[in-house]
């Protein structure tokens, strides 16, 4: 649907030419009315109820729009409904009714109506002995239109302008195939005011003298703007005031049709391509995240998280009114769904120990509690066995010649304090990164290999993110030494806090088992029977190069291990080949540890082109499950709690309401033409979101193993989001590792071009050195 004119709501404008996605909804979980509904009564009795405390003895013909709520009063169940007629809509409380509930969409005659004071609610008193007549259905089919607010002196509490009420349900649960507006519409959003209106607001109407012309030019120069006639992004170079009429300005052809609408007193902007544009046709857009004017198209209302749902409902209402001219209607709440399931939060040993601590003495434990305690004990035992020991640590303070005496003393003092905490004698101060690498090679390595597999080097330097620091980090990894960079601190308390933080961080990064804190076999029982390799893949693209990484986690009852590959590609068009080759290397390394039965791939991003080439890299007996994680989707889910909207809670799984078309597939239809396959997908909320609006990750399942069900994949994804972090995270651990490693590897290879993942010796290459 392409809008002819711009839509303006609450100071925001979707410009002419914006494309909105309109689609059919046929999913079995969509709730909407499909029965043949009665038409809205033509009477306007509700509009006459303008005074409080008035009782109407005659019957009022109303249409039940929806059920708002139910409550109990003196043992009776009372219903509150939203009713409407030709004058508008309001609330109705039924104290006495012959039927159990009113059916939304049906017409009723209500007798004995009394208005309540100071509220727009109308009630039917039970003591009046009035009951509505039996429901009578009127033949014909109607489309849901926008609910018109009741214009009453006491304040109408009718529907909002967007026509969004509560869910409209039917007794038989039938489905509709009406049109629905998706919430992931992308469009250009900018301020409703044009530059000319802002100039008039600050500098008044023209013409302007020389001083004001300088002020206006200075205010508009460099401002990124949108040309409302073609949505082109540009910026203002300068401003001209030497055109008496619009016809005198050398404007482009598409702007000449605006001659009759242009103000003759306005200035004209010279934009980035040196074309002349009237400031009346230019609009600004602002990105509050960057706190600067922006030059790119943004998702609709993405910068208003707290009010996004209400604003989008207003846009939907505006589109509904416009589409009526073409005979097209939009359903209210067409994407509302009850297809919501909750996954049980994985149990960690700490949580089980905390639950046991609150156990009442003398009360016997249940079988489930005993099983959980047994699992927690085995996990703690495995953690103690696999816990790394920091026995060899070197402290190096890097004080460059340009550093002041105070900075040098601070770095040296911090290194001495950390050396006491780690109880090491390897501490020194060097003038540069090359001298630091030579010292590490001298005290921690022998013949290019570390003397201790759990050794680490801590560098105290003020430049942790510089290219020399990245070069030093790559050199330590090449020698099998875990590097850590910290800044100098002057206070004793600050230095001790840094020491404890570094100790915990090094122990986490040197861990042999990446998922040591959770029993995945207990969360997904299928893993006990099948040796599974979970692979996360991501790539970081720049204008010249592509840095990709592949992180595999081998899950088996005897213990888990990690296998990492990253690479750099300089040739465009070779990305799929590079991903397939390194995916095969991870498969080979994991298969050498234990024969693989299942491979689950979490691809970061909505990319699936390498799926076919990955199948050729699998062992003959292994099955493949391939999922794409679309983490920047523009779909937002809100959980309706009474009259408020809240984020969905952690562990919520929402089945996708619409299938995903992924392009032409191998299947053919009756006419012999290729048919695009439908990919099942679901949305999984893995983390709590207490601020802003939760951005739920969409999982698109492009290929499934015959052994793994959709529920198993959901449980595995949710469980992997609870490891290697104090709280649950947005992405499962393999994808999070791949995303993190791709950014770090890009900077490491940029500082040390010869560095590759194959240069990292064991056992460091199987640890979380990049987290």
* Segment 241-265 mean pLDDT: 83
Residue 19 is given by DSSP the state B
Decide if 377 contacts 400 (C-beta within 8 A). Answer: no
Q: What is the mean pLDDT of residues 303-309?
A: 49
Strand partners, 624: 599
Q: What percent of the chain has pLDDT over 90?
A: 28
| pLDDT reading at 223 higher than 90 | no
Q: pLDDT at position 231, please?
A: 64
Q: Is the pLDDT of residue 384 over 70?
A: no
Nearest to 121 by CA among 162, 71, 171: 71
CA nearest neighbour of 83 among 46, 32, 138, 56: 46
- Residue 627, pLDDT > 90, answer yes
Q: Which residue intervals of 564-687 are DSSP H helices?
A: 575-593, 611-615
Among candidate residues 602, 596, 529, 606, the one with its CA nearest the CA of residue 561: 596
461/435 Cα distance (integer angstroms):
13
The residue with tokens 């290697």 is 724
Residue 301 is predicted with a pLDDT of: 41
pLDDT at 454 over 80: yes
Q: What is the pLDDT of residues 691-727, one digit of tens each?
A: 667 888 999 999 999 999 999 999 999 999 998 888 8
**DSSP designation for 725:** S
Per-residue pLDDT for 681 more than 50?
yes
Which residues, at least 6 apart from 626, have a Cβ–Cβ distance to it below 8 Å? Answer: 601, 603, 608, 611, 614, 701, 702, 703
CA–CA separation, 16 vs 229, rounded Å?
A: 7
Q: Is 625 exposed, middle or buried (0-12, 13-18, 19+ CB in 10 A)?
A: buried
Cis peptide before 207 (omega within 30 of 0): yes
CB 715 within 8 A of CB 737: no
pLDDT in tens, 75-125: 676 777 788 888 888 777 776 654 456 777 778 777 767 776 444 444 444
200 pLDDT higher than 70: yes
| Whole-prediction pTM | 0.62
Distance CA 161, CA 142 (A): 20
State the average pLDDT over residues 267-294: 73
Whether 224 contacts 282, CB under 8 Å: no
Spatial separation of the C-alpha atoms in residues 538 and 610, rounded to whole Å: 12
Residues in the chain: 771
Q: What average pLDDT does this structure show over 478-502?
A: 92
CA distance 426 to 417: 12
Rounded mean pLDDT, 163-179: 34
Count the Cβ atoms, other than its own, within 10 Å of residue 129. Answer: 9
Closest by CA to 605, choosing from 731, 728, 478, is 731
138-165 in b/e form (b: 16+ CB < 10 A) is eeeeeebebbbebebebebebbebbbbb
Confidence of residue 536 (pLDDT cuts 50, 70, 90): very high
Mean pLDDT of 673-687: 73
| Statement: residue 206 has pLDDT above 50 | yes
* Mean per-residue pLDDT, 447-458: 90
> Which has more confidence, 16 or 82?
82
What's the pLDDT score for residue 253?
Answer: 78
Question: Are the beta carbons of 484 and 456 closer than 8 angstroms?
Answer: yes
Can you tell me the distance from the alpha carbon of 612 to that of 610, in angstroms, rounded to the nearest whole number?
6
Three-state DSSP class for 358?
Answer: coil
- At residue 467, does pLDDT exceed 50? yes
- pLDDT over threshold 90, residue 319: no
- Give ∠ CA 123-125-130 in degrees, rounded to 5: 110
134-138, 451-455, 494-498, 522-526 — which is least confidently predicted? 134-138
User: Do 8 and 181 contact (CB within 8 A), yes or no?
Assistant: no
78 versus 576: which is more confidently predicted?
Answer: 576
DSSP helix/strand/coil, 103: coil
Mean pLDDT of 46-72: 73
| pLDDT > 80? residue 263 | yes
Element (H, E) at 407: helix 405-422
Q: CB of 733 within 8 A of CB of 515?
A: yes
Which residue shows structure tokens 């198993």? 712
Average pLDDT in the chain = 75
Token pair belonging to 559: 């213990």
Q: For residue 157, is pLDDT > 50? A: no
The C-alpha torsion from 347 through 733 and 681 to 601, rounded to 10°, is: -120
Displacement of CA 48 from its chain's centroid (Å): 47
Q: Read off the tokens for 393.
A: 């640590």
pLDDT at position 140 over 70: no
How far apart are the C-alpha atoms of 614 and 581, rounded to whole Å?
Answer: 9
Supply the pLDDT for residue 519. 82
Q: Which residues are 458's β-sheet partners? A: 395, 484
State the DSSP H helix or E strand holding residue 322, giving kind and residue range, or none if neither: helix 308-324
pLDDT at residue 413 is higher than 70: yes
Are residues 488 and 462 in contact, defined by beta-carbon separation less than 8 angstroms?
Answer: yes
* pLDDT tens string 732-746: 999 999 999 998 999
pLDDT of residue 407: 92
| Dihedral pair phi/psi, residue 204, rounded to 5° | 80, 180
Residues 419-445 have a mean pLDDT of 94
- The DSSP 8-state label assigned to residue 337 in this structure reads B
Query: What domains appear along the chain, each with residue ranges and CATH number?
Result: 1-32+175-188+297-338 (no CATH), 46-168 (2.40.50.140), 193-283 (2.170.260.10), 393-509 (3.40.50), 523-634+698-766 (3.30.420.10)
**Residues 450, 480 contacting (CB under 8 angstroms):** yes
List the one residue out of 557, 554, 613 whose CA is nearest residue 583.
Answer: 613
**465-491 burial code (b ≥16 CB/10 A, e <16):** eeebbbbbbbbbbbbbbbbbbbebbee
Q: How confident is the model at residue 347 (pLDDT cuts 50, 70, 90)?
A: confident
How much is the average pLDDT of 642-660? 75
Sheet holding 224-227, edge to edge: 276-278, 268-271, 232-240, 224-227, 282-283
CA separation for the pair 152, 149 (Å, rounded): 9
What's the pLDDT band for 515 if we cut at 50, 70, 90?
confident
List, in sequence order, every beta strand (DSSP E) within 245-354.
Answer: 268-271, 276-278, 282-283, 286-287, 292-293, 340-342
Give CA–CA dist 675/669, Å, rounded.
6
Distance CA 628, CA 614 (A): 14
- Is 218 in a helix, a strand, or coil? helix
**Closest to 172 (Cα-Cα) out of 20, 300, 367, 34:** 34
CA–chain centroid gap for 692, Å, is: 11
CB proximity list for 211: less than 8 A, separation 6 or greater:
none
For residue 564, the cross-strand partners are 551
**CA neighbours within 13 Å on the CB side: how many for 45?**
23
Query: Tell me, what's the pLDDT at 629?
Result: 93
Residue 369 confidence (pLDDT): 60
Cα–Cα nearest to 545, from 735, 749, 739, 737:
749
Q: Which token pair is 401?
A: 């010649």
Cβ atoms < 10 Å from Cβ of 58: 9
Output phi, psi for 648, to 5 deg. Answer: -70, 150
CA 138 vs CA 64, 67, 550: distances in Å: 13, 20, 63
Among 679, 657, 675, which residue's Cα sits nearest to residue 666?
675
> Do 4 and 16 form a contact (C-beta atoms < 8 A)?
yes
Q: Of 16-30, 459-473, 685-699, which one has max mean pLDDT?
A: 459-473
């Amino acid at each position: 649907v392409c809008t002819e004119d711009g839509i303006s709501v609450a100071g925001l404008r979707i410009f002419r030419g914006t494309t909105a996605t309109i689609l059919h909804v046929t999913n079995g979980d969509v709730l909407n009315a499909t029965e043949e509904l009665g038409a809205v009564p033509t009477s306007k009795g509700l509009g006459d109820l303008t005074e409080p405390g008035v009782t109407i003895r005659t019957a009022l013909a109303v249409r039940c729009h929806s059920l708002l709520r139910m409550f109990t009063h003196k043992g009776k169940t009372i219903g509150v409904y939203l009713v409407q007629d030709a004058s508008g809509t309001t609330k109705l409380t039924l104290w006495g009714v012959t039927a159990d509930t009113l059916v939304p969409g049906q017409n009723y005659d209500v007798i004995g109506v009394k208005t309540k004071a100071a509220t727009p609610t109308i009630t039917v008193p039970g003591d009046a002995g009035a009951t509505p007549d039996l429901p009578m259905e009127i033949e014909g089919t109607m489309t849901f239109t926008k609910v018109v607010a009741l214009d009453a002196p006491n304040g109408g509490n009718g529907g909002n302008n967007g026509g969004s009420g509560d869910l409209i349900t039917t007794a038989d649960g039938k489905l509709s195939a009406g049109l629905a507006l998706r919430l992931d519409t992308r469009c250009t959003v900018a301020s409703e005011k044009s530059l000319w209106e802002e100039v008039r607001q600050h500098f008044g109407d023209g013409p302007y003298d020389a001083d004001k012309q300088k002020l206006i030019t200075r205010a508009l120069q460099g401002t990124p703007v949108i040309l409302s006639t073609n949505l082109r992004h540009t910026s203002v170079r300068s401003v001209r005031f030497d055109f008496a009429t619009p016809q005198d300005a050398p404007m482009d052809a598409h702007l000449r049709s605006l001659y009759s609408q242009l103000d003759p007193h306005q200035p004209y902007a010279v934009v980035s391509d040196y074309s002349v544009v009237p400031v009346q046709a230019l609009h600004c857009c602002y990105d509050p995240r960057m706190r600067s004017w922006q030059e790119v198209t943004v998702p609709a209302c993405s910068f208003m998280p707290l009010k996004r749902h209400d604003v989008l409902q207003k846009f939907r209402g505006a589109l509904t009114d416009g589409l009526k001219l073409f005979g097209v209607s939009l359903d209210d709440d067409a994407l509302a769904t009850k297809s919501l399931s909750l996954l049980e939060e994985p149990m960690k040993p700490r949580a089980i120990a905390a639950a046991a601590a609150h156990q009442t003495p003398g009360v016997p434990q249940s079988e489930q509690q005993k099983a959980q305690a047994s699992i927690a004990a085995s996990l703690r035992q495995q953690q103690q066995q696999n816990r790394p020991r920091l026995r060899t640590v070197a402290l190096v303070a890097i004080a460059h010649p340009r550093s002041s005496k105070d900075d040098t003393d601070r770095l040296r003092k911090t290194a001495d304090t950390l050396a006491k905490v780690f109880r090491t004698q390897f501490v020194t101060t060097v003038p540069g990164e090359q001298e630091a690498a030579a010292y590490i090679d001298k005290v921690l390595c022998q013949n290019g290999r570390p003397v201790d597999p759990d050794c680490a080097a801590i560098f105290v330097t003020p430049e942790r993110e510089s290219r020399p620091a990245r070069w030093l980090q790559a050199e330590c990894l090449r020698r099998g030494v875990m590097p850590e960079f910290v800044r100098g601190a002057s206070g004793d308390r600050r230095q001790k806090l840094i020491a404890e933080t570094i100790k915990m961080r090094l122990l986490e990064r040197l861990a042999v088992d990446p998922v040591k804190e959770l029993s995945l076999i207990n969360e997904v029982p299928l893993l006990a029977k099948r040796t599974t390799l979970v692979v996360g893949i991501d790539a970081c693209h720049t204008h010249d190069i592509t840095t990709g990484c592949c992180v595999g986690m081998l899950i088996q009852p005897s213990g888990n291990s990690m296998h990492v590959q990253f690479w750099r590609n300089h040739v465009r068009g070779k990305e799929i080949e590079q991903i397939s080759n390194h995916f095969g290397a991870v498969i080979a390394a994991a298969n050498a540890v234990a024969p693989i039965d299942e491979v689950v791939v979490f691809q970061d991003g909505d990319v699936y082109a390498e799926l076919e080439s990955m199948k050729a890299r699998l062992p003959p007996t292994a099955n493949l499950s391939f999922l794409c994680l679309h983490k920047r989707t523009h779909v937002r889910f809100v959980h309706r709690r009474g009259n408020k909207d809240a984020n969905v809670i952690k562990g919520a799984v929402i089945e996708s309401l619409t299938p995903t078309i992924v392009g032409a597939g191998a299947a053919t239809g009756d006419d012999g033409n290729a048919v695009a396959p439908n990919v099942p997908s679901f949305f999984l909320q893995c983390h709590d979101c207490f601020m802003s609006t939760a951005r739920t990750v969409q999982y698109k399942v492009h290929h499934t193993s015959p052994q793994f069900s959709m529920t198993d994949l959901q449980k595995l994804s949710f469980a992997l989001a609870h490891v290697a972090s104090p709280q649950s995270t947005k992405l499962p651990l393999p994808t999070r590792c791949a995303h993190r490693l791709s950014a770090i590897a890009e900077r490491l290879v940029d500082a040390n071009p010869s560095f590759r993942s194959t240069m990292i010796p064991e056992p460091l290459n199987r640890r979380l050195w990049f987290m």
